[in-house]
Structure 1
Amino acid sequence: MKKLLILFFLYAGDVFAQTDSLQTKQFTISGNVETESVITLDSLQQYHVKAIGDLNITDHTGKFKHRDNMVRGVLLKDILSHTKFKADSPKLLSRIYFVCTAADGYSVVYSWNELYNTAVGDHVFIITGKNKVKAADMPESIQMASTSDYKTGRRYIHNLVSIDVRQIK
């Protein structure tokens, strides 16, 4: 009986430790845009995929967390190139920012100027593969990273679900 009780608690702990997968297969671009769009893992293949190389992921203090090898991805601004923003004049583009949100609610922000008017925009990627694994086969499938950030983990998103285009007043 004692062995059976121990087995029950071991099994019950295993069951309660499991969580639903948050794996995403697509994300939306919505908000201050003319037309909402949905980007799927399949549609990412139509863009130019770049070899990013190896990427050290650090926490907010700069402490090493892990390393992603052979990272490949699509520039966020390439994906956004098909998006028409609601802005009556080019001056209003400077008021636009992007809230990128993961399935668990974690969000990061980029400004229009940051993506289109600085070198940062050349280093913000939707990851299509890493560690010899394609995005569709990763448990955290749609990932986003700013590879030029000093503390890379701060804007590293797992399971991206949306990019909300907003404008400050």
Structure 2
Amino acid sequence: MPTTMNAASALDEPTVESALSITGQVRQPLSLSLDDLREYESIVAAPFDLRCFTTKRFIRNVGGYRGARLTDLIEKAGLLNESPTDFKRMVFIAAAHDGYAVTFSWHELFNTPIGENVLVAYECDGRPLAVEEGAPILFSGSDRHSAPRHVKRLARIVARLLAP
């Protein structure tokens, strides 16, 4: 099962054994391996063409990803809310090992259909993804353009509360 992290290591890079960490404004920081991700309910995304957002150049065809919903992972970590409505000002930063980062808002993930299709993938076309292939991969299956929020080698999800 997923392991918890102490506060001192909450912002550290995931270890070799872990695939990614979930930290920030959460009750229980998590460090998750690819095997841990397989313990969550999985969803399968439809195959798609990965295209560069700016040039529209075809990069490659991607078969169906299988993975855990990002919302399930966030719910497991739990959100810290000093005020009952703090969650409405939460954003989530998904960062790769190479520094590439994308964002999601709480409303987007938990209050629209988009959240149902944001997954942290560990398989593609029915076969396990290796670290060399980019595992774990964050993918937002409801976006109009797939490339901007296609994050290979996802290292961490950080929950942040925006100031009012």
Give the Cα separation in 1 of the matches to 2:30 and 2:23.
7
Counterparts of residues 1-169 of structure 1 (less than 5 Å): 25-61=18-54, 62-136=56-130, 138-169=132-163
Which residue in the other structure is 1:16 paired with?
A: none
Contact 1:146 1:152 in 2 (8 A): yes
Moved more, 40-49 or 62-71: 62-71
Give the Cα separation in 2 of the matches to 1:160 and 1:137.
10
Contact 1:27 1:40 in 2 (8 A): yes
Give the Cα separation in 2 of the matches to 1:70 and 1:99.
24
What amino acid is the match of 2:123?
A: G
Gaps in structure 2 of 5+ consecutive residues: 1-15
Give the Cα separation in 2 of the matches to 1:138 and 1:72.
17
Shift of 1:70: 2.8
Q: Percent identity?
A: 26
Which residue in the other structure is 1:5 paired with?
A: none
Moved more, 155-164 or 56-65: 56-65
Which residue in the other structure is 2:11 paired with?
A: none
Between Structure 1 and Structure 2, how many residues are aligned? 147
What is the root-mean-square deviation of aligned Cα atoms in Å? 1.8
Decide which structure has the larger Cα Rg and report it: 1
Give the Cα separation in 1 of the matches to 2:18 and 2:86.
32
TM-score in terms of structure 2 length: 0.82
Give the Cα separation in 2 of the matches to 1:83 and 1:57.
30
What amino acid is the match of 2:44?
A: A
Give the Cα separation in 1 of the matches to 2:131 and 2:101.
23
Contact 2:37 2:68 in 1 (8 A): yes
Which of the pair is proportionally richer in helix?
A: 1
What amino acid is the match of 2:28?
A: T
Contact 1:143 1:158 in 2 (8 A): yes
